[in-house]
Amino acid sequence: MSAKRRVAVLISGRGTNLQALIDADQDAYEIVAVVSNIPDAGGLQRARAAGIEALTLDHKQFGKDREAFERELNALLRARNVEIIALAGFMRVLTPYFVNSWKERLVNIHPSLLPKFPGTKTHERALAAGESEHGCTVHLVVEEVDAGRILGQARMPIIASDTPETLAGRVLTLEHELYPRCLAELARNL
């Protein structure tokens, strides 16, 4: 087996998908850094508890200059010899500069069955559309939001009693199973 791929996980919140990536059998990847754009994101503590370097790069320090923030982020990642970036609740739309810097090595988990319901409020939209099933998608990140090549999907039926909140919770369970598997597969194939 070749060396494990060095992964950085970008977060903005609680870090439940980060925890799933940490807890998974990491035979193909090693999480070497977790970076949050929110200084008090709960996921930073998860990283520290796992002995992973936890970094904060507050996007607010850069005003409206998104690319300046991303250039600094890129420098942090390159200095740690990161090979793959996993977005796990990172609530920033990335610029073409950053996306193209990490082409084919930037992966995201999205709470819908893409190409249906890109963007936000996916659970509300799936219910409003009368969908019979819902789920999540792991995909490569490209310039267009939620439009990259699909690496994997997990599906489940929508039940009559579902609300956006219950649906979100059920989809999150699927995400925690799907994301580590797809990240490992990507790492093995690089």
In this predicted structure, what is the pLDDT of residue 25?
A: 85
Neighbours of 61 (CB within 10 A): 11
- Asked if 133 and 93 count as a contact pair (C-beta separation under 8 A), the reply is no
Mean predicted confidence (pLDDT) in 167-174: 97
- Domain holding 50: CATH number? 3.40.50.170
The residue-averaged pLDDT of 146-150 equals 97
* Contact indicator for 117, 125 with CB cutoff of 8 Å: yes
> What pLDDT, on a 0 to 100 scale, did the predictor assign at position 155?
98
As given in the structure block, the two tokens for residue 36 are 């949050």
Q: What pLDDT, in 10s, does the model give residues 50-85? A: 999 999 999 999 999 999 999 999 999 999 999 999
Cα of 64 vs its chain's centroid, Å? 23
So what's the pLDDT on residue 2? 63
Tell me how crowded residue 111 is: count the other CB atoms within 10 A of its CB: 21
- Domain carrying residue 57: 5-189
In the residue annotation, 123 being an active-site residue is answered as: no
Q: How confident is the model at residue 136 (pLDDT cuts 50, 70, 90)?
A: very high
What is the mean pLDDT of the segment spanning 28-41? 97
pLDDT single digits (tens) 92-127: 999 999 999 999 999 999 999 999 999 999 999 999
Name the catalytic one among 110, 123, 139, 176.
110
**Structural domain count of the chain:** 1
